[in-house]
């Protein structure tokens, strides 16, 4: 699927609008944001890949969902999903999505507060799913598989999925996680239809060279099945979920107050006033 020719300046400016609206990442939960140029390219790709589809995002700190809807709405790209729903446990992200969608009249976009450890609320209602989960460096990909599981449930075991996952030639753990995730998908009736290696860069202080790939799955013919979504409680799955010794302890990240993320928060600074001498 070749990249479309788009007005790059208009696309970058539109993505800049989205980034201004996006809350800052919480590193404790492996929220690591993709660099801006890669967000532009990824958004165009996702819009094309999921054109006219109902698309579920299982988490979306990067705000790719918003970029896809916004680029389409602004006419910078003339294709995109028919509906985008983002399921995220961070109320700041959900609120930012819904406020932006309301302000820009993005009727196809909605954010829903949801923790992937809970049963998935609306199974079999989507055609495609997208997820950029915690990359599973300390748990052999178990955290990735939980997000993939919810994506597979969102499409009712019959559809396509795009998983953004670590991909590095120099490190062993990304290869092991890739193998585990591909195996998990195969066990659930999905095959790798395409892999786009070492594609994205991130704002990651401790490993700035680490990249991720697009791993795209398709369901096998006749794979649709009846199932009941269940809570994730297995201690082996929950161990090191967000990194070494980082088990899930937070159900939701709550937004304390409405923030304008494009401007400095008054909790981030203080004023030291000019001292004027007496005349």
- Let me know if residue 33 belongs to a domain: yes
As a whole number of angstroms, the distance between CA 129 and CA 216 comes to 10
Query: In this model, does residue 279 exceed pLDDT 60?
Result: no
- Let me know if residue 266 belongs to a domain: no
Query: In this model, does residue 3 exceed pLDDT 60?
Result: no
Determine what percent of the chain is predicted with pLDDT higher than 70: 92
Torsion, CA 117, CA 118, CA 123, CA 127, rounded to 10: -30
As a whole number of angstroms, the distance between CA 163 and CA 231 comes to 21
- Each residue of 250-267: pLDDT tens digit? 999 999 876 566 666 666
Fill in the DSSP letter of residue 191. Answer: E
* Pairing mode, strands 83-88 and 212-219: unpaired
- Across 163-173, average pLDDT: 94
Determine the pLDDT at residue 205. Answer: 80
CATH at residue 101? 3.40.50.150
Determine the pLDDT at residue 246. Answer: 85
Determine the pLDDT at residue 128. Answer: 98
Using alpha carbons only, give the angle 155, 146, 59 rounded to the nearest 5 degrees. Answer: 70
As a whole number of angstroms, the distance between CA 70 and CA 67 comes to 5
CA-based R_g, the chain, Å: 19
- Each residue of 67-118: pLDDT tens digit? 999 999 999 999 999 999 999 999 999 999 999 999 999 999 999 999 999 9
- Let me know if residue 13 belongs to a domain: yes
Q: In what order do the strands lie in the sheet with 128-131?
A: 109-113, 83-88, 54-58, 128-131, 160-166, 212-219, 190-200
Query: In this model, does residue 278 exceed pLDDT 80?
Result: no
User: What are the backbone angles phi and psi of residue 207, rounded to the nearest 5°?
Assistant: -155, 70
* Pairing mode, strands 212-219 and 109-113: unpaired
Number of domains in the chain: 1
Place of tokens 């195969």: 186
Determine what percent of the chain is predicted with pLDDT higher than 90: 78
As a whole number of angstroms, the distance between CA 235 and CA 249 comes to 13
Q: Distance of alpha carbon 15 from its chain centroid, rounded?
A: 15
**Domain range holding 192?**
8-238
- Let me know if residue 42 belongs to a domain: yes
As a whole number of angstroms, the distance between CA 69 and CA 82 comes to 9
- Let me know if residue 100 belongs to a domain: yes
H helix or E strand, kind and range, residue 214:
strand 212-219
- Let me know if residue 160 belongs to a domain: yes
Residue of 275 and 22 predicted with greater confidence: 22
Report the mean per-residue pLDDT for the chain.
92
- Each residue of 133-159: pLDDT tens digit? 999 999 999 999 999 999 999 999 999
- Let me know if residue 279 belongs to a domain: no
As a whole number of angstroms, the distance between CA 144 and CA 45 comes to 21
Residue 164 β-bridge partners: 214
- Let me know if residue 158 belongs to a domain: yes
Fill in the DSSP letter of residue 28. Answer: G
In the chain, which ranges are continuous DSSP H helix?
A: 8-21, 36-49, 64-73, 91-104, 142-154, 173-187, 235-238
Determine the pLDDT at residue 269. Answer: 59
């Amino acid at each position: 699927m070749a990249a479309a020719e788009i007005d790059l300046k208009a696309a970058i400016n539109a993505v800049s609008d989205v980034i201004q609206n996006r809350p800052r990442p919480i590193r404790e939960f492996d929220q690591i944001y993709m660099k801006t140029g890669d967000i532009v390219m990824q958004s165009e790709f996702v819009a094309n890949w999921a054109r006219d589809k109902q698309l579920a995002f299982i988490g979306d700190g990067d705000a790719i969902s918003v970029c896809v809807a916004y680029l389409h709405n602004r006419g910078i790209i003339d294709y995109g999903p028919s509906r985008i729903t983002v399921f995220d446990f961070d109320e700041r992200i959900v609120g930012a999505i819904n406020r932006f969608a309301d302000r820009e009249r993005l009727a196809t976009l909605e954010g829903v507060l949801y923790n992937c450890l809970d049963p998935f609320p609306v199974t079999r209602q989507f055609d495609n799913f997208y997820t950029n989960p915690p990359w599973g460096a300390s748990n052999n990909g178990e955290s990735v598989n939980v997000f993939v599981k919810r994506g597979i449930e969102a499409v009712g075991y019959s559809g396509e999925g795009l998983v953004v996952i670590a991909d590095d030639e120099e490190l062993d753990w990304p290869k092991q996680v890739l193998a585990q995730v591909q195996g998990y998908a195969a066990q659930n009736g999905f095959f790798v239809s395409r892999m786009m290696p070492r594609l994205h860069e991130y704002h990651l202080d401790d490993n700035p060279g680490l990249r991720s790939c697009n791993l795209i799955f398709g369901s096998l013919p006749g794979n649709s099945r009846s199932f009941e979504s269940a809570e994730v409680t297995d201690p082996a799955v929950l161990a090191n979920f967000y990194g070494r010794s980082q088990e899930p302890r937070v159900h939701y990240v709550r937004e304390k107050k409405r923030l304008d993320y494009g401007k400095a928060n008054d909790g981030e600074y203080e004023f030291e006033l000019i001292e004027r001498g007496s005349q």
